[in-house]
Amino acid sequence: MRKSAWVTIFTVCLTAGQTVGFPEQTENPTTEASFFDDAFAEIDSEQYEGRANFRDVPANLTGAHLYRVQLKNNEHKRVFLDLIKTEQIDVWMQSRGKKAKAVFMVLAANVEKVNMRFYEADITLKRLSDNVQKLVDEENPSENVTKLSNSKTGYALTWKAYHKASVIHDFLDNYATNYKDLCTVEKIGNTVEGRPIKIIKISSGGDKKRPAFFIDGGIHAREWISPATVTYIIRELVENRTAYSFADEVDFYIVPLMNVDGYEHSRTRDRLWRKNRAPGALCKGVDLNRNFGYKWGGKGSSSSVCRGNHRGPSAFSEPESQAIRDFILKFDIGTFKAYLTVHSFGQYIMYPWGYDYMTPPDGTELQRVGDLAAAAVKKLTNTSYKVGSSAKLLYAAAGGSDDWAKAVAEIPYAYTLELRDKGDYGFILPAKFIKPTGLETMAMVQVVAEEMLKAERLKKN
């Protein structure tokens, strides 16, 4: 499916393959399926592949509107679900709660009809944009604007614009050359279309017993703020290293762009593309964040190839998710103490589980550290992040990378971040927000690293 046209979607992550002696605890048995969980399950039970507009044709975003809505009662929800099912609206983000909230797009051809429908049902909409194409056109400054800094740094990457994949990879290679004692770059696999997936290790050495911290970005193609922010973190850990006392006590392993093919596709063909570019006769692409092998195939993941949350034919069917799995599992269990996977949007700090409405046995600790991270961000930039377990906070989604990291790789501090914003721009966040978003995400990394180190010291004493 096309990403955009449809429902689908989003992001959240979790869960994994076999249960390796991991007690699953229902901490709050009153939490159950939300409206959106039920709605998407209902939609997914119906067949859509025959429909022409499910094909991989980029939507015409000219004159498309973006809205925010609160669904206050069952009648509202019924109307909303019907509009999703008839493909008149494309949901970009949804969250649960008594009043289900959503951000959604309406293509120009449907605007009048859809507005009438909401009006008749007495549902108030907040219009965020009356031309999504204009958001796209204004999102990213031209190359000329960003060239200024190239000569100073020796690499073309900036945090004033969103750059192509090769520029991101050249930035990593530049560090491997110029910071030899600190940085190592490795190719950990190739994408479906044969592009390299690169990882950078940032470590000042030591006795190899340091706790390791894994970060990945760009699982979902259209979430451009993710790789931009992750490269910001890399730069901080290298060029501004002395500002962080934890930096010499932790080994960082960072993949700034996992879904390289999807990202390039979103830059050149279809700004709202989400999945990888796995081949398919009817529709392309697997949602990599439904493809990880813990509880694969469960709630919030679709077997339909055209859906934005298509989980793939089997767990770890995709070379991109395989690359992450194989890299992490090369190390002894217990090496990695923290895992952050960076997405957008909505401003959430989430921890497992995503596959169901439960939290792990150490859910209280994950909540505590998440709360500290949110407080640090609030203090720094006054941006609010909500903290909670994925399925309880947003919606259930099985096959996500953080559930796998937690359950199978046994990484204690596993989080999914949904970065800015809350929907004013959604996926099309203007490049001027890269720096503030990078700054606040670095604050979250700092909190997680410091709390993880404290926990390690406690264990030793």
Looking at the Cβ atoms of 3 and 343, the one nearer to Zn ion is 343
138 contact partners, CB below 8 Å, separation of at least 6 = 430
Q: Considering the complex, state which of residue 383 and residue 416 has its C-beta at the smaller distance from Zn ion.
A: 416
- Distance in angstroms (rounded) separating the CA atoms of residues 246 and 129: 42
For strands 348-351 and 413-419, give the pairing: antiparallel
- Which C-beta is closer to Zn ion: that of 110 or that of 441? 441
Q: How far is the CB of 108 from Zn ion (least distance, A)?
A: 26
Q: Which of 2, 7, 9, 11 binds Zn ion (CB under 5 A)?
A: 11
For Zn ion, the closer CB: 258 or 373: 258
- Residue labelled with tokens 């800015």: 420
Q: Which is nearer to Zn ion, 220 or 420 (CB)?
A: 220
Using CA atoms of 268, 270, 275, 281 in order, give the dihedral in degrees to the nearest 10.
-100
Stretch that binds Zn ion, among 258-266, 320-328, 338-346, 397-405 (CB under 5 A): 338-346
- Residue with the CB atom nearest Zn ion in the bound state: 11
Tell me the site size for Zn ion, rule CB under 5 A.
4
Q: How far is the CB of 458 from Zn ion (least distance, A)?
A: 33
- Contact map string, positions 208 to 247, toward Zn ion, x by CB under 5 A: ------------x--x------------------------
CB 93 to Zn ion: min, Å: 10
**What burial letters (b/e) apply to 302-320, b meaning 16+ CB within 10 Å?**
bebbbbbbbbbeebbebbb
- Residues 6 or more apart in contact with residue 311 via CB below 8 angstroms: 286, 287, 290, 291, 296, 297, 301, 302, 303, 398, 399
Stretch that binds Zn ion, among 16-24, 70-78, 335-343, 450-458 (CB under 5 A): 335-343
Shortest approach of Zn ion to residue 289 CB, angstroms? 6
Nearer to Zn ion, 37 or 223 (CB): 223
- Count the alpha carbons within 13 Å of 155 in the hemisphere toward its beta carbon: 20
> Which residues are part of the catalytic machinery?
418
Q: Return the residue of 343, 406, 420, 422 that touches Zn ion, per CB under 5 A.
A: 343
Least distance to Zn ion, CB of residue 221, Å: 9
Peptide bond into 251 cis (omega under 30): no
Q: How far is the CB of 335 from Zn ion (least distance, A)?
A: 26
**9's torsion region: left (phi>0), alpha (psi -120 to 50) or beta?**
left
Rounded to whole angstroms, the Cα distance separating 403 from 400 reads 6
Nearer to Zn ion, 169 or 343 (CB): 343
**Site stretch for Zn ion (CB under 5 A), options 314-322, 343-351, 369-377, 451-459:** 343-351
State the Cα–Cα distance between residues 274 and 291, nearest whole angstrom.
13
Print the binding letters for residues 117-156 with Zn ion: x by CB under 5 A, - otherwise.
----------------------------------------
Q: What H or E segment, with its residue span, contains residue 65?
A: strand 65-71
Shortest Cβ 155–Zn ion spacing (Å): 26
Q: Is 362 buried (19+), middle (13-18) or exposed (0-12) by CB count in 10 A? A: middle
Q: What is the longest distance spanned by two Cα atoms in the chain? A: 67
* Cβ atoms of residues 248 and 210 within 8 Å: no
Query: Binding segment for Zn ion among 8-16, 99-107, 144-152, 231-239 (CB under 5 A)?
Result: 8-16
The interface region with Zn ion, picked from 157-165, 183-191, 247-255, 336-344 by CB under 5 A, is: 336-344
Residue showing tokens 């604050």: 443
Binding site for Zn ion (CB under 5 A): 11, 220, 223, 343
